[in-house]
Every structure is written in C-alpha cells, then in structure tokens.
C-alpha cells in the first residue's frame, strides 16, 4: 500500500472516530437537556436562587450526596424501606436534617389539634392534681375530678399520683405509661401488614390523649405547648383540624363545643403577644366519616356557628378517620352540596391502597364538591384524568409522608407517590398530620424524609423553598394575611441563609 492509500485509510479512521465522538457528545448533550427539562418541570425547578442561596445549596447538595450514597451502598444500616420508628432517631444526626430543622418552613396546613404533642409532654401533664386513671393492660382512660369519677371502669378509678407512688420505680412506671400515648413502641412489627391493627391502636391512643386533655386547664397548657413546639420548628402559621369536643371543669361544669374554638383563639392570641412573628391559626371543623348524614348535618350547622362567631379563625370543614372503613363522601354529597356555597371544604381523599373502590373514588367526590385542598391524596397517581383536573384547578395536595408510613399505606418510603407529584410540579404542601402520636418533630421529619428519601437525588434548595412558599400560597389566609406571612417568611429565610453562611455552613 502506497503512502497516499495509507493516508486515506488513516483519514477515514479519524473521520469515523470524530463522528463517533460527535455522536456521543450529541447523545450526552440530549440526555443532559432532557434531565434539565425534567428538573424545570419539577416542584421548585424554575425558582432562581441568589448568589448566597447558590452557595448554601452547593454545600447542602454535598451533604445530601453523602447521605443518599451511604443509604444506597449500606442499606443494612440505614435505608427508607425500614419502619420510620427504626430510623427516626438516627436521621437526626444528619447534617441535612439539622439544616432543614433550622430552615423556615412556612405553614402547617394539615394537623389534628389533639395529636400535636408528643408522649413526653403528655406524661408531664399526668402529674397534674386531681387526675384519676382507669388503667388496664391494654387501655387507659383519664379523668380530672375532686372525687372518684362516676363513670364506667372495668377495674377501679385510682388517683394517678397513688398509682405512681405505689410503683417500685417511678421512671419505669412513666415509661410504661408512655406506651398509651404513642404508637412508637417495640411492638410495631405487624404495622406494615395489618392496617386495621395499626388504626385500632391509633384510635386507642387518640381516646387516651383526648381523655387527658378534655379538662379545660390542661387543654390550655397542651395547646400553648403545641404552638410553642411548632414555632420552635420554624412554623409560622397552622391550620388545625378539630371536631370541637366539650371541655369540662373540676367542679363538673361542661362547656359547649364553641367554647373550645374560643379557647384555641384566646390561647393563640396570648402566644402571638410573646411571639409577634407567629401569624396565628385557623380552624377546619371536622366530623368522623364513620358517622351518619344527620351527624354531618349537625357538624355543618356547628361550622356555620363558628364561622359567624369567629370569622377570622374559621377556615372550613372536613370528614376524618380511617378512610377504608368509613363511609364514602358520595353518601354525604346531598348535604355537602347544600352547604358548599357557605363553607369551604378541605376533604381527606385517597388515603387508601384500594383502587377503583368507593373509598378510592372519594377523590372524585372531593374535587366535584369543590374542595380547596385534598388531604393525603395518596391514591391520586392512579387517576391520570383526575390528576390533570387537580393541576388545572390548582387544588393543593396536603401530603403527610410519615403518617402514610406509620399508618401502613407504604412500606418503602422511596415508593411514596409524592415522588411523582414532585416530578410533575404538582401543587404540594407538606404537613405532619398527627406528629405527637409517632413522636415526630412538628414538620422537620416530614421535610427531611421527603427531601432525602422520596424526591429526586437532584432535588435541591429550590424544592425546599417552594414547599415552604406553597404552604403560604395554598393556606386559608386572606390576601392580607398571605402578604404578611410571605413578608415574615422572606425575612426569616434571608436571615437563615446569612446564618448558614456565617456559621461556615
């Protein structure tokens, strides 16, 4: 082969290699563009960060990279297929968790007022005077009274102080007592496999807590402390759900249900005097979905009364309780349609794994009844047409990831449908449902799990900031209230960014 022929062959080889490189470069460029396009469509993807925020974000993402990789390569030690109770203490050592805990998180829009406090503080309340207990191995009912309560008890009503003093070890007594106030115990193994069992235990915990805090002075202390805990977790506004039970006094006086709404209002105002950058609360009235139409009608009448007497505090109405065994929304639609022009709805919907059932179809009824937000919306991803409608109507999704885990909807949090909602840029607000029952922080735990376990590994500070913004945008506050809360949030956010930088991240 002569020199010209060799040169030609070499030229062709070089051209082929060049074309291959060009093809590979083109391929990589197209892949990068697709990923960037998807990121822009995700929640917070279009937010622009300041230079300071970019600096903070760079460090945050380094921490996240380490934590996700550790979980990926060492799943035997720490991963999100385990039960929340098995990793909740470990995750608090995380730098990302500590970052999120310091971060202003806006508002909580889905929380039940009786279940905001953890067991440790509830145990403190059992040291109050005049507290009687009806205590058995599997149940605890409490009642404040000057004398032995004239109420049914399978054993004997005994002063809590006498029970405690009669124990050989008070610390051990309180540790055992704590099990009646929480789901976080050693016997949670079956919770993944039997949703009805965990709901049975949950309801027992609820009724025990309710029996403790139905005494008016204790309810005041408990609610003030709950506000303090949420505020300490950088929450600036709360929308509580409550059916407004009747509180009582030591002398036997029983207040009407409106009294509890007034108490919440007054306690909040006292809290705001001490903490003027806390914007306040609103009330979403509730009724158990296991009830009948007449009881729902009564609850709507009570809602009208609260709206008339406390208009600044009232937000709307919801039906609550285990969705799988409760009556579907369709059964209540006639009475709910009658009131929809007077009362805003914030319905639970889709808190189920059953597809195509009347329970699952609560989602359709919620949207048709004009709900402002959907509580949980866990099953929404199975309904593409409804997802489109929800997006077009801008109906926010109140997602409570830890609740969905503890109450046995999802075993591996990485499979939570929130991942799809975030990827599609759906109007998501994160909340915590009943954080006291599972010993979670008011909002930080849900934010952390959503950010590290569920969201894309690429999700960054923009997503966290957008979630906080959404909690304000989709709140029941009027325009002036939202403007004030946005202003407070912006100031706190900027101070937070400066503080993270000043403390060398």
Q: Is 127 exposed, middle or buried (0-12, 13-18, 19+ CB in 10 A)?
A: exposed
Tell me if residue 351 is catalytic: yes
Interatomic CA distance for residues 476 and 373, integer angstroms: 10
Return the closest-CA partner of residue 432 out of 107, 204, 83. 107
| Helix (H/G/I), strand (E/B), else coil: 280 | strand
Tell me if residue 110 is catalytic: no
Of 53, 67, 239, 351, catalytic = 351
CB 108 within 8 A of CB 399: no
DSSP labels, 58-89 = HHHHHHHHHHHHHHHH-TTTS-TTS-HHHHHH
Q: Residue 2: count other Cβ atoms within 10 Å of its Cβ.
A: 7
Interatomic CA distance for residues 242 and 115, integer angstroms: 10
Structure tokens at 320: 């609550």
Return the closest-CA partner of residue 409 out of 187, 83, 185. 83
Give the dihedral of Cα atoms 360, 374, 318, 253; nearest 10 deg: 120
Contacts of 319 (CB under 8 A, 6+ apart): 286, 287, 288, 289, 296, 326, 329, 332, 347, 348
DSSP labels, 96-144 = HHHHHHHS---EEEEEEGGG-S-HHHHHHHTTSTTEEEEE-SS-EEEEE
In this structure, is the dihedral angle defined by the CA atoms of residues 126, 131, 135 and 140, taken in order, positive or negative? negative
Structure tokens at 109: 């829009």
Q: What is residue 252's DSSP assignment?
A: S
Q: Is 163 exposed, middle or buried (0-12, 13-18, 19+ CB in 10 A)?
A: middle
> For 234, what's the count of Cα atoms within 13 Å in the CB-facing half-sphere?
20
CB 326 within 8 A of CB 290: yes
Interatomic CA distance for residues 416 and 380, integer angstroms: 12
Of 110, 348, 376, 416, catalytic = 376
The vertex-341 CA angle with 335 and 343, nearest 5°, equals: 75
Q: Which strands, in side-by-side order, build the sheet including 158-159?
A: 140-144, 131-135, 158-159
Interatomic CA distance for residues 472 and 460, integer angstroms: 20
Catalytic site positions: 351, 376
């Amino acid at each position: 082969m002569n020199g010209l022929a060799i040169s030609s062959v070499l030229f062709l080889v070089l051209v082929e290699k060049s074309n291959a490189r060009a093809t590979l470069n083109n391929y990589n460029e197209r892949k990068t563009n697709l990923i960037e396009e998807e990121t822009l469509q995700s929640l917070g993807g279009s937010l622009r960060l300041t230079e300071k925020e970019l600096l903070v974000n760079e460090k945050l993402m380094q921490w996240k990279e380490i934590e996700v990789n550790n979980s990926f390569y060492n799943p035997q030690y720490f991963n999100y297929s385990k039960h929340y109770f098995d990793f909740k203490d470990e995750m608090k050592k995380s730098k990302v968790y500590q970052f999120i805990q310091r971060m202003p998180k806006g508002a909580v829009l889905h929380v039940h007022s009786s279940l905001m406090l953890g067991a440790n503080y509830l145990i403190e309340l059992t040291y109050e005077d005049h507290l009687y207990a009806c205590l058995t191995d599997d149940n605890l009912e409490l009642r404040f009274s000057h004398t032995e309560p004239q109420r049914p008890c399978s054993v004997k009503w005994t002063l809590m102080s006498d029970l405690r003093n009669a124990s050989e070890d008070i610390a051990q007594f309180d540790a055992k007592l704590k099990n009646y106030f929480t789901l976080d115990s050693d016997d949670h193994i079956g919770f993944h496999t039997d949703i009805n069992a965990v709901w049975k235990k949950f309801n027992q915990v609820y009724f025990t807590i309710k029996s403790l805090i139905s005494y008016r002075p204790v309810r005041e202390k408990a609610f003030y402390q709950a506000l303090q805990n949420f505020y300490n977790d950088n929450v600036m506004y709360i929308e509580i759900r409550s059916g407004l039970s009747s509180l009582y006094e030591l002398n036997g006086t029983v207040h009407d249900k409106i009294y509890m709404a007034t108490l919440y209002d007054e306690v909040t105002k006292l809290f705001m005097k001490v903490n003027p950058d806390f914007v306040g609360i609103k009330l979403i009235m509730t009724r158990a979905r296991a009830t009948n139409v007449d009881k729902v009608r009564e609850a709507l009448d009570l809602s009208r009364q609260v709206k008339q007497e406390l208009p600044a505090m009232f937000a709307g109405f919801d039906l609550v309780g285990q969705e799988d065994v409760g009556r579907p929304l369709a059964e209540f639609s006639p009475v709910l349609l009658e009131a929809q022009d007077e009362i805003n709805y914030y319905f639970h919907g889709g808190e189920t794994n059953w597809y195509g059932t009347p329970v699952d179809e609560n989602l359709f009824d919620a949207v048709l009844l004009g709900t402002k937000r959907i509580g949980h919306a866990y099953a929404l991803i199975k309904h593409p047409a409804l997802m489109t409608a929800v997006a077009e109507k801008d109906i926010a999704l109140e997602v409570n990831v830890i609740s969905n885990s503890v109450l046995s909807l999802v075993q591996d949090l990485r499979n939570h449908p929130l991942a799809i909602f975030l990827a599609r840029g759906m109007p998501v607000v994160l909340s915590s449902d009943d954080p006291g029952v599972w010993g979670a922080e008011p909002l930080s735990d849900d934010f952390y799990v959503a950010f590290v376990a569920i969201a894309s590994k690429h999700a960054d500070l923009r997503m966290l900031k957008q979630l906080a913004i959404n909690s304000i945008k989709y709140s029941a506050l009027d325009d002036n209230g939202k403007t004030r809360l946005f202003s407070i949030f912006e100031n706190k956010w900027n101070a937070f960014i400066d503080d993270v930088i000043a403390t060398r991240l």
